[in-house]
Amino acid sequence: MIEVQDLTKQYAGRVAVDGISFFVRRGEIVGFLGPNGAGKSTTMRILSGYMPPTSGSALVAGHDVFRDSISVRKNVGYMPEMAPLYTDMRVKEYLHFRGELKGLGGRELRRRTGEVMDLCGVTDVRRRLIANLSKGYRQRVALADALIHRPPLLILDEPTNGLDPTQIRHVREMLLDLRDQHTVLLSTHILSEVEQICDRVIMIHHGRIRACDTPRNLKNQLRAAAAVHLELQGNGKVIKELEKLPGVRKAVEEEPLEGWRVINVRVEARNDIREAILDLATREKWRVRELHQQLPSLEDVFVELAASDAPPRNT
């Protein structure tokens, strides 16, 4: 559905996107992540046919984004970061207008306007001026706009930015419902959302792709964050003994809790040392009330990648 080859974008001599290549298969939901200024919005604008690249190529539904941007726009529902809504229009009027621009007409236009208003929860405010809507409601209108012409590909730039938690969940459920008919590329800073809905993640940093994999594989590859949380009562050599176990990098004593010692045992990647810790505790006659593995989160992956200056990986 999306094929990007060596895509580069320079703004006034500054490189915002630096030779990225990736693909998105039909039916996938792909999270596009990266720190502020990484180049996400720039890439999404190019893929939606709103801005030409400096060099490289991008195909969307088989159409070249630069040479054939009209066909690209028909196939893409793009929700920009800062939605350029016409603030002096009323919600329904605006969506009607946008649908018309995208080639809908007659009954189909009226039906789709009603459908996307329901889907995005703006039916109640359909007669309000967009200027008077809250930020979250404007986001919903922008999403309705992206969906109105039933595009096979949705490119959503921070679609849940500014929404309340209920609405964030609503958008998440909506995206999961849409996955049968749509392919989705979405950028967001809400990583729990990505873990829940994305099949794959593309991480970009300084305009280059740093990682591209399933959320699960990315977490498994992470070295820094694997740990075991331990609450026990024991003798003076607990830390020393724990650090002797093979696979342990460091045992860190934290604030005690209700008379129990709390220890965070940092572990080499892909080591499960829970049994070894229990055996040790039994031998040493420590009392254990809590022992569990802390798996790294996507947030850990993000922070590690954002901090690293490793060369980009091929995708």
Q: Using CB under 6 A as the criterion, which residues of the chain lie in contact with ligand ATP when the complex forms?
A: 11-12, 16, 34, 36-42, 81
* Shortest separation between residue 34's beta carbon and ligand ATP, angstroms: 5
Nearer to ligand ATP, 36 or 166 (CB): 36
Which runs of E-coded beta strand occur in the chain?
2-11, 14-24, 29-33, 55-60, 63-64, 76-79, 153-157, 183-187, 200-205, 208-213, 227-233, 248-257, 260-267, 287-294
The smaller minimum CB distance to ligand ATP, of residues 115 and 299, is found at: 299
Q: Are 186 and 25 in contact (CB under 8 A)?
A: no
Residue 175, contacted partner among ligand ATP, Mg ion, none, CB below 5-8 A by kind: none
- Considering the complex, state which of residue 13 and residue 165 has its C-beta at the smaller distance from ligand ATP: 13
In the complex, what is the shortest distance from the CB of residue 222 to ligand ATP, in angstroms, rounded to a whole number? 22
Q: Name which of 40 and 200 has its Cβ closer to Mg ion.
A: 40
Q: Which does 11 bind (CB under 5 to 8 A by kind): Mg ion, ligand ATP, none?
A: ligand ATP
CB of 302 to Mg ion, least distance (A): 15
Pick what 171 binds: Mg ion, ligand ATP, none; C-beta below 5 to 8 Å, kind-dependent.
none
Secondary structure element (H or E) that encloses residue 194, with its range: helix 191-197
- Interaction site with Mg ion (CB under 5 A): 40-41, 81
42 contacts which partner out of ligand ATP, Mg ion, none, CB within 5 to 8 A by kind?
ligand ATP
Chain mean position to CA 161: 12
End-to-end CA distance of the chain: 16
- The Cα 32–Cα 197 span in angstroms is 12
Q: In what order do the strands lie in the sheet with 55-60?
A: 14-24, 2-11, 55-60, 63-64
Across the beta sheet with 76-79, the strand order is 76-79, 153-157, 183-187, 29-33, 200-205, 208-213
Which residues are 250's β-sheet partners? Answer: 266
Residue 34's binding partner out of Mg ion, ligand ATP, none, with CB under 5 to 8 Å set by partner kind: ligand ATP
Least CB distance from residue 52 to ligand ATP, whole Å?
Answer: 13
Closest to ligand ATP by CB, 181 vs 308, is 308
The three-state secondary structure class of 205 is strand
Min dist CB 78 to Mg ion, Å, is 13
Smallest separation, CB 30 to ligand ATP (Å): 15
Of 11 and 295, which has the nearer Cβ to Mg ion? Answer: 11
